[in-house]
Every structure is written in C-alpha cells, then in structure tokens.
A = this chain, B = another copy of it.
Amino acid sequence: MRELWIELGERSYPIIIGDGLLNRLPQALSDRGMGTDGDLFIITDENIAPHYLSGLEAALKEQGYTVNSFVVPGGESSKSLKWYENIMTEAIQLGLDRKSVVIALGGGVVGDLAGFVAATYMRGVRFVQVPTTILAHDSSVGGKVAVNHPLAKNMIGAFHQPELVLYDTATLLTLSDREIRSGLAEVIKHGLIWDEAFLNWCDEHADALLKLDAESLSYALYRGCEVKASVVSQDEKEAGLRAILNLGHTIGHALEAVAGYGELLHGEAISIGMVGSARLAEELGYPATIVERTQSILERYGLPVRIPKHLDTDAIMAAMMRDKKFKSGQMNFVVPVEIGKVEIQTGISPTLVRSIVDDLKGEV
C-alpha cells in the first residue's frame, strides 16, 4: 500500500493506492474525519456498478454509514448538465445536507461529474474519489471538476479538492484492453514531461503494467500522481508551468474532436499528439532521438503513433485553430527539449504544424 499526500495546507489530502483496498473505504473515511453522521452519496456508472457497487455499499453499511447511490450511463455523454441536474434532484429528494459526502466510484467521467456535484450542492460538500481507471490517476490531482457543454468540453466546472482518494488497483482488472493502454499513455506522459528515470522504468515494466501486475501498477499510479502534484503545486493558479501537462494534447484534442468522441480514446489521441510534439521539437532543432524514444515507448504499449488516414487535415487544423490558445495566427506548443523535460514554445507557424500533421498521416 502506498500513500501520497497532496500538500495544499488546510485542504491537503492523501491518495492511498494498493491492491484490494476497496473494503477499507469505511476505515479511510473515518480516519479522515468523515464519520457516520454524514450521509454518503455514491455516484458511479453502469459499467462499473455491476462489479463493485453492491460490495462497496455493503461494506459501508456494515460500518454504520447511510449510503445512497446514483448510476449514470457509461461514457463521456454523462458528463453533462442534464445528468448533473438529475443527480441534484436525487440528492435533494434524499434530503442530503451539508454534512453529506459525495463519493465518485469510477473513471474520469464519473470523477469530474461527481466532483462538480460536490462542488456546488448546497455551495459545496465533501468529496471522495475512488478511481477505477488508470487515466483517472490524472484527475486525482489538481482539483479540476467539470461537465461538458454541447459546444465544448469541460467548459462548466470548478476547483474542488477531494478529502481522500482511494485507489484500488484490483478494480482495474475489469477494464478493457484499450482502456488500459489509453490510461497508461497519460502515465507515460508524466515521465516524458518530468522524469527520464521514470520513463525508463515504464519502458522496462511495460509487460508488467499491461498485465496489470498490482505492484507495478501501484508504483506507476503513485509516481504519475506525484509528478502531476509537483507541477500543480508550483502553479496552483494555472499561470504557466501547469501548461506542460498538456504535452500531446493540442493535437490530441483536435484528433478526438475530428474523429468524433469515441473513435479515438483520449490516451490514444494524446499518444499520437506526443509523437507530433516530438516531431515538432525535431523541426525546431532538438535531437531526433526524442522522436525515436517517444515513439518506441508508445509502440511498446501498443498505442497508436500515426493519425488515422481518413481524418481530414483541414479539419484537424481547423479544430486546433479554434482552440482559444491560438490568437492572431500563431500557435503555442508544449515540446520536449530532452527526454523528461518540456518547454512551452510560442509563435509556432500553422504551416509547420500542418506539415507535421501530414507527416503523421504517412506510413511508419
């Protein structure tokens, strides 16, 4: 079992990671001052509920907690104002008050949605995360919660820190193969932006991680959270440094949008995007070895490193230019300047980016 404290003064909280931790949630709650006087409200989705919900409810009830649950459909479309309102209605009908605790049992979708509920129900109640995807290690740090607007992702949200994150690696065993690889792309990103040694470790432990070896997973999630925490703690207000977390995301978001959400998983899209950023670095004069290293580790994880040919270059460019980060025809990009270190480069010309997009559509 590993424990990482996210230091935020009064709002500091632990991320507890280990194999088979789910039934320790009652104890962890009470250790963190959430006793049985506060009603628990579990929010989860229909893919997760059949595996873990009733067991968790039973464990909590046995320790005297009052537990209610709400199950949303699986997938990004549940991160909407409609489901947000449905959950609020249920919470009010249940008579939940300020002492209640919202628990997100699920991936990033459930985490963001439940977190926004917790941030705004009666102007804010306590929030606990029980992540069930690898990708959700990324949402365990930083306090961002949100729902999507039909016109754009994550437009409506808040910052709301959890009281506790309990990460049971055993819950990851029911993830699909694609979701596993996609989640690991974000782990690799944390190596690429911050820590060459960790990237090497990821390279060596690829087989173990893909097989969901508990000990390796636990370390990978721990270190991934720790890297993100280091970045965020130096830039709580998103002034600058935090942008490095977006390595691969400029191209990645555009690919997700153009492919239609769902065709490419988030981690798959940023995998391609990270290769694109490395190619950009090469064009800007940084060593070509960065491209080779980036591409080879992603391929080892079975992640895509080329843009699907049927995606239109114009559409990809348009999606990128719509992004508010690009004013007056110039683009900002996070580029790797060596392995384990990235920089934000401004004034990149769209022509150069376009040539890289075209290039990424070619043969490997």
Contacts and interface: CB of A to CB of B under 8 A. Distances in A.
A144 interface: yes
Nearest to A238: B98
A157 interface: yes
Interface of A: 81, 85, 88-89, 92-93, 95, 97, 119-124, 144, 146, 149-152, 155-159, 324
Given A81-B81, A97-B324, A123-B144, A158 B155 contact: no
Nearest to A151: B92
Contacts of A119: 158
B324 A120 contact: no
Contacts of A89: 149-151
List 10 tightest A-B contacts by C-beta distance, closest first.
Answer: A123-B157, A92-B151, A97-B324, A120-B156, A81-B85, A123-B158, A120-B158, A92-B152, A92-B149, A92-B155
Contact of A151 (B93, B149, B150, B159): B93
9 contacts: A88-B149, A88-B155, A89-B151, A97-B324, A119-B158, A120-B120, A121-B155, A123-B159, A124-B159
Contacts of A159: 123-124
Copies of this protein in the complex: 2
A178 to B, nearest CB: 29
Given A97-B324, A151-B92, A146 B123 contact: yes
A324 B155 CA distance: 32
A122 to B, nearest CB: 6
Contacts of A88: 149, 155-156
Given A121-B156, A124-B158, A124-B159, 13 more contacts: A88-B149, A88-B156, A89-B150, A89-B151, A92-B149, A92-B155, A93-B151, A120-B156, A120-B157, A120-B158, A122-B157, A123-B158, A123-B159
A81 B116 CA distance: 14
